[in-house]
Amino acid sequence: MSLAVVRSRAPASGRAPEVTVEVHLANGLPSFSIVGLPDLEVRESRERVRAALQNCNFDFPVRRITVNLAPADLPKESGRFDLPIALGILAASGQIPAESLLHREFAGELSLTGALRPMRGAFAMACGTARSAVAQGGGALQSAASAGELVAGDARAHATPQLYLPAASAAEAALVPGVDVYGAADLPSLCAHLAQAPDGRLYPVAAPDLAENPAAIVPDMGDVIGQRGARRALEVAAAGGHHVLLVGPPGAGKSMLAARLPGLLPPMTDDEALASAALLSASRAGFTPSQWRRRPFRAPHHSSSAAALVGGRNPPQPGEITLAHLGVLFLDELPEFDRHVLETLREPLEAGRITISRAALQADFPAACQLIAAMNPCPCGWRGDPNGRCRCTPEIAARYLRKLSGPLLDRIDIQLEVPALTPAELSARSMAAGETSAAIAARVSRARERQLNRQGKTNRELGGREVDEVCRPDSAGEALLREAGERFGWSARAYYRVLKVARSIADLAGAPMPSAAQIGEAIQYRRAFGSL
């Protein structure tokens, strides 16, 4: 047989689309060519595959070898196609049975010795395999329309697909239900299994037990001294999924508070865990089993470019806002980011998605993360300090604050001033014994449950008409909100965001509608810049 077909997948946008590796051996001058839009890493697989086959005592055909990676219009990258190319050559030359490759998928990078190296995107590939099995078996995915939104589905109701990966990457892929994942240490052991050798059989890898995972421990809110107002604001933000800006002097605890926000969020559902893990797996950030069911917390440095923050390159790659999908994106020292970089956050913060367009390709990435940003009130950081340590002129301070545009600030629901703690407060260690994250998270989960039962989404995601229906306050609250809007000159967006925050406060209290007191608290959360 001179033609073999092997199934694999490409790590594109977290969806891992199927790639068919076709290997043809023909007469003529010996050559080895790869077509199908391969990048440099894929083209270099020719040398890796050749050396691996020879060092594993397989015969490398001295013929005209053509490898086609279909579909031809999908860019192919990474060394994951080494293994399917090698298996295709062995099957086309009759060294392994070609029928053993049917209904199976393969991926892995080969070393020159034939060993299989770890690869990124194993989890995303398993998700794609499970999705295809459900679709081919007549099932339907509940949210397969966008990148990274993956659902396990009942793939086991049909023939369970088999996925073969390097042994070091099989554990993370085994977390995906509906797929039998096999891990192979090297090419000879995998070929022995495919040839059904008596002593060479491989067995499906069991999913790792993460019940007692110490890496899942997150910082606790009980460690925070004082800052009752900020703690309350983070609880409200976690309840409704609202974006937060913390403004305060150095050492006030802004970063400490931000790091504890993931511990206040509700546990991830199965669908959310699959979606988040698939995005991380397909990205260069990578995914490990210790991250399973953990809310992402991404904290890029303020020197990050726009492509690093929202995505870019060619073909398009996800940025930090996508890697924080269903988790938290923390931007410390917010005014130190380039203004152009910050402006790219406007649309994804509003829509929860971002579309990266290039001349020949367009990619749609999810970006439903919760933004928490921190900044100093002026360049030196001490504006408003009672000891008079600030040396910034009003013009310098105003120029510093102007680095943040009005449209960007308009999209941040809660803007809170975090004051510095006095030495007396720091010495009162009893203040450290505040509520734990678990106690706050329990209230947050109940509030989120009310929102999902009422409208099927968080309060932050409500549209204009939905806000009118769900967030309408009582008469006293409506009068207070109207007066505040006129006094502070709010835009329509700011007006509705205050209503959403008030709705979250009411959900925490179990109230049927926002009251005047809850409207007043929501108004206070948009006054940080007015006090600077």
Are the CB atoms for 33 and 66 separated by under 8 Å? Answer: yes
Share of the chain above pLDDT 90, in %: 53
Instruction: List Cβ neighbours of 388 (8 Å cut-off, separation of 6 or more).
Output: none
pLDDT band at 83 (very low <50, low <70, confident <90, very high): very high
Q: What is the mean pLDDT of residues 113-136?
A: 88
pLDDT at 133: 81
Distance CA 292, CA 276 (A): 9
Q: 3-class SS at 281? A: helix
Q: Would the pLDDT of 212 be above 70?
A: no
Are the CB atoms for 34 and 147 separated by under 8 Å? Answer: no
Write the DSSP assignment of 435-454 as a string of letters: --HHHHHHHHHHHHHHHHHH
Write the DSSP assignment of 21-38 as a string of letters: EEEEEESSS-EEEEESSB
Rounded alpha-carbon distances, angstroms, from residue 504 to 177, 339, 466, 479: 35, 31, 14, 19
Are the CB atoms for 473 and 519 separated by under 8 Å? Answer: yes
As beta bridge partners, residue 115 has 186
Write the DSSP assignment of 341-358 as a string of letters: HHHTTHHHHHHSEEEEE-
pTM attached to this predicted model = 0.84
pLDDT at 343: 93
Domains delineated in the chain: 3-194 (3.30.230.10), 215-531 (3.40.50.300)
Distance CA 69, CA 37 (A): 8
For residue 93, the tally of other CB atoms under 10 A from its CB is 20
pLDDT at 368: 92
Out of 144-153, 199-208, 310-319, least confident range? 144-153
Q: What is the mean pLDDT of residues 233-243?
A: 95
Q: What is the mean pLDDT of residues 506-520?
A: 92
Are the CB atoms for 407 and 236 separated by under 8 Å? Answer: no
pLDDT at 140: 33
Q: What is the mean pLDDT of residues 371-385?
A: 89
pLDDT at 109: 95
Distance CA 56, CA 189 (A): 10
pLDDT at 428: 66
Q: What is the mean pLDDT of residues 92-109?
A: 94
Q: 3-class SS at 369? A: coil
Q: pLDDT tens digit string along 184-193? A: 999 999 999 9
Rg (CA), the chain: 27
Rounded alpha-carbon distances, angstroms, from residue 491 to 124, 127, 515, 527: 41, 43, 22, 14
Q: 3-class SS at 149? A: coil
pLDDT at 98: 92
Q: pLDDT tens digit string along 137-182? A: 643 333 333 333 433 333 333 478 999 999 999 998 998 988 999 9
pLDDT at 13: 60
pLDDT at 370: 95
Positive or negative torsion for Cα 447, 453, 459, 461: positive
Q: Mean pLDDT in the chain?
A: 87
Write the DSSP assignment of 101-170 as a string of letters: GTTEEE--EEPTTSBEEP-TTHHHHHHHHHHHHHHHTT---SS-SSTT------GGGSPPPEEEEEHHHH
User: In the numeric block, which tokens belong to residue 53?
Assistant: 């086959």
Longest Cα–Cα distance of the chain, Å, equals 87
pLDDT at 156: 36
pLDDT band at 120 (very low <50, low <70, confident <90, very high): confident
Q: Would the pLDDT of 213 be above 90?
A: no
pLDDT at 150: 38
Question: Nearest to residue 76, comparing CAs of 111, 121, 112?
Answer: 121
Q: Would the pLDDT of 429 be above 60?
A: no
Question: Nearest to residue 373, comparing CAs of 295, 258, 493?
Answer: 258
Share of the chain above pLDDT 70, in %: 91
